[in-house]
Amino acid sequence: MKGPALYFGLTVFFVGFGNYSFSLLIPILVVDRAGYSFSELALVLTSYSLAVILFGPLWGYLSDKIGRRRPIIILGYCIFSLSSIFYVFADALPAYMVLRFLQGVGMAAHPMVTALFSDFFGAEAAKRFGLYSGIEAVGWGLGGIGAGTLADALGIKAVFLIAAVFPLISAALAYWKLPRRVPSSEGSDPVAENVVHKVPRKLFFLYGTVFARMAAAIALWSVMPLYLKSFVSQLSLVGLVSSANMLIQPFFMIAAGRMAERHDRLKLVMWGIIGSIATFWVYASAQSVWYLVVGNVLIAGSWALMFIGFNTYIMQSTTQQVRGKAFGYLQGSMSVAMATGPVLGGMLSEVLGISGMIWSASALMTLSLPTLLMLRHRERQTRLQTSS
């Protein structure tokens, strides 16, 4: 990996490292250290999601409108970093909510890196996307391990101050190393010619699929650090176990990227959803931390299949002129799930306990299958009409 591909990878690596440090430690800070309830934690996590819902499509629209994605990326990363610094001074729920909202405003620009990646590499983007995604996953995984280890030694707020630096490194890489402009022609892109440049309506079936799967998943992930603390006591171990799936994800991402070249990409999404449901059964029946380690290996493979599947499907289904909006809407659908998931997770955890909540989340995850099946049906109809 060299040249522009290397700089794309480093950009998402550093921002992933910084972002996951906050994702891991904020639930512990709010509930375990500050003493707030699961429902109040949901307010903090939902404020982030609300910001991404509002600003993800906006950043996508602006990047398509001006024909440049790099300034949006740089601005977003700077907003995330600057707002992160103020966690050092925050000591109440409203402050946590405001800062998490501002972090969401910044991170809502992150999908524009994927859009720029797709623009720049064109027909080669899907082939390269597995490695790109794997590098980002390593950043998230090392961010979790580093954040947990440093939090034991320095305290959570000190880690927040350190983590705030990493998105600034990504902003610097975006400014100096990412492509400033990309070719206006779609080249060999099969959807480029004779197409009205709008986000295809069929993608909204995919967004619905992603929302249903992610809402159930986020119900678990919003309280996963607290669930882990019932098995291990040290934050370094919490960070290590929770990050295990991300550290092995690169292998699954690369394999899924190769599979996407040979298999129906929507079928990869389906396999990923089914695998996720089975993995949640492992989490729910956990009797020791080793159950969670096994679950993390399984979820790494399931998520890789789904993530590579829906991202490469969007790449092949959109033109450069609307790709920012398409990925912005994708981020918006995931963020609606991120707003819904913590509420579900908090309420169900208080009523059923965390284990009962996970069983419920696995059942809710099956709701992602109907929209996916409808999309696959439409794809088959389109192929039949084209062949005739």
Cβ-contact 279, 286 below 8 angstroms: no
Q: Where are the domains of the chain?
A: 4-178+195-387
Within 10 angstroms of residue 154's Cβ, the number of other Cβ atoms is 12
pLDDT number for residue 284:
87
Residue-wise DSSP of 134-167: HHHHHHHHHHHHHHHHHHHHH-HHHHHHHHTHHH
Using one digit for the tens of pLDDT, what is the confidence trace for 150-161? 988 898 989 999
pTM for the model: 0.81
Query: Which parts of the chain have pLDDT scores under 70?
Result: 1-2, 181-197, 387-388
φ, ψ (nearest 5 deg) of residue 266: -70, -30
Distance CA 169, CA 199 (A): 32
Which of 193, 215, 212, 192 shows the shortest CA–CA distance to 204?
212
Using one digit for the tens of pLDDT, what is the confidence trace for 254-263? 999 889 888 8
pLDDT number for residue 196:
47
> What is the b/e burial string over 88-122, where b = at least 16 CB atoms within 10 angstroms of the residue's CB?
eebeeeeebbbbbbbbbbbbbbbbbbbbbbbbbbb
pLDDT number for residue 181:
64
pLDDT number for residue 190:
43
pLDDT number for residue 239:
73
4-178+195-387, CATH topology level: Growth Hormone; Chain: A; (1.20.1250)
pLDDT number for residue 192:
42
pLDDT number for residue 186:
45
pLDDT number for residue 194:
41
pLDDT number for residue 58:
92
